[in-house]
Each structure stands twice: as structure tokens, then as C-alpha cells.
Amino acid sequence: MAARPVYRPPSDDTWRVFRIMAEFVEAFETLSALRQAITVFGSARTPRNDPHYRQAEELGRLLVERGFDVITGGGPGIMEAVNKGAFEAGGTSVGLNISLPHEQEANAYQNISMEFHYFFCRKMMFIKYALGMACFPGGFGTLDEFFETMTLIQTEKAPRYPVVLLGREFWTPMLDWMRDTLLTRFQTISPDDLALFTIVDDVVEAADYLRRHVDENIEMLRHPTTEEEADRPVEQRITVEGTRYGVRAAPKRA
């Protein structure tokens, strides 16, 4: 005999909306004061004696020196290193922490610190107020954040902004797989999609790349790109989290 489904009163989910709303409202009010920000992703498991940790710390410092605020997930590993570099350089060091079933301790190098219950609220805040992204080697979370950003840019739901991946040894096999499997064998992406990001080893090169590309595209990133969008209310204009208006999907007629 099949088990009966567990009944959940609709009100359980209805009231949950207010918790979601509260996370967004608090984040909007807190992060809207940021200037030009770069979000940096990477593994929480990277130890402090790892070369990538030292690179991430240096990148945090270099980004501040180039006029950027810095956003991370607020945890240990690469996130701690980037926050530390930005914090000790006297910059704005943002940590968007997440409450997890297993405790993740917030690092000590945040002068703006938030805590999220919902991953999807936190993920939107990573990109909404950023003008570029850098990724160090990481696991599922880093890859998820990278590919979500790629999807927004590829589909033009968000303006194209600079994305730099640090560590050729880590990222080149993924690029080879994308080229050989996705592009060549199965044609699930276009050749231009592989140009939506760049891979480097040097953190100075990464910081300069982000600064240069933000400067070249600042009008597109922060202002309407067409007369049609210039006439829209502010809340309907392009923002990086993917709210750009498009052609509405219509049912296909037989």
C-alpha cells in the first residue's frame, strides 16, 4: 500500500514568503550603498598555507587599491583570504554568510556582514551589486555560482560583465570539456559562449582585467542601454541579477 503524502497547510508556504521578503529587503537596504563591487568565489576548504589562499588575500588587497568594494560568502578558506586582503587594505569587505546545518563560522575580516537563511536570496545578492566576478578553485558552490552567472550573461538577462577564473591548472580541464563536449560534440553552446570569461594565473593580471573591463563598460553596466529601457521605471531597468525584460514566451500553435 502506497504511503499517503504528508499534508502541508498552504499557509505554511504563504507565511514563508515574508521571511524571504525580509531577507531581500535587509540586503537591498544594506548593500545598495556599495560603490563598484567585485564578487569573489572560491573554496571554503582552502587552508591558510595554500598558495591559492595567499593569492586570494593579495587579490582582495589589489581590488581595494583599484577602487573596488569586495564581496565574498563570508566563510573560511578563499572567502576569508579575500576579505582579509580587502579589510587590511582599508577597503569595504562584505561577507554574505549562510546558516547551514553544519556550522560555518564567519571570518573575522568583514566590515559589512550579513547572514542568510536562503541560498537563493544570498546568491542574488552576490551578483546584484557587483560589476564583475572572480573565481578561485572551488567545489559545487563555486561552480554553481559561476554557471549561474554564465547563464544570465549568455541569455542577456544580465549585462555582460567581466568574469575571471584564477588558476589555469584547475579551470583549463573544464574549458577543454566545454569546448570538446558541449561545443564540438553536442553543440549545446555557441563558440562565443567560451569568450564570456577568461582564465589567468596572475592576480595582478586578474585585478587589472576587472578594472579595465569595468571602466570600458560602466555605462552599459549601470545605465539603460536603449531608448526603450531609458523610458522604463527604474525598477524595470537592467540590473545584474537578471531582471532585464525580454520577449514574453507564447504558446506554440499547431
Q: Please report which confidence band the pLDDT of residue 176 belongs to, taking 50, 70 and 90 as the band edges.
A: very high
pTM for this structure?
A: 0.90
Q: Is the model's pLDDT at 209 over the cut of 60?
A: yes
Mean pLDDT of 165-175: 98
The tally of domains found in the chain comes to 1
Question: Per the domain annotation, does 8 fall within a domain?
Answer: no
Q: Is the model's pLDDT at 62 over the cut of 50?
A: yes
CATH number of the domain at 45, please: 3.40.50.450
Question: Per the domain annotation, does 177 fall within a domain?
Answer: yes
Question: Per the domain annotation, does 241 fall within a domain?
Answer: no
Question: Per the domain annotation, does 247 fall within a domain?
Answer: no
Question: Per the domain annotation, does 24 fall within a domain?
Answer: no
Question: Per the domain annotation, does 151 fall within a domain?
Answer: yes
C-alpha cell at 27: 540586503
C-alpha cell at 132: 564583475
Task: Identify the domain containing residue 159 by its residue range.
Answer: 38-220
Q: Closest Cα to residue 109, out of 134, 132, 75?
A: 75
Alpha helices in the chain (DSSP H): 10-31, 51-65, 78-88, 119-128, 140-154, 168-177, 203-222, 227-230
Question: Per the domain annotation, does 90 fall within a domain?
Answer: yes
Mean pLDDT of 109-126: 96
Q: Is the model's pLDDT at 1 over the cut of 90?
A: no
Question: Per the domain annotation, does 180 fall within a domain?
Answer: yes
User: What burial letters (b/e) apply to 53-65, b meaning 16+ CB within 10 Å?
Assistant: bebbbbbbbbbbe
5-55: pLDDT as tens digits: 776 777 778 888 999 999 999 999 999 999 999 999 999 999 999 999 999
**Rounded CA separation 73/99 (Å):** 11
Q: What is the pLDDT of residue 11?
A: 75
Q: Please report which confidence band the pLDDT of residue 223 belongs to, taking 50, 70 and 90 as the band edges.
A: very low
Per the prediction, the chain carries an average pLDDT of 90
Q: What is the pLDDT of residue 8?
A: 73
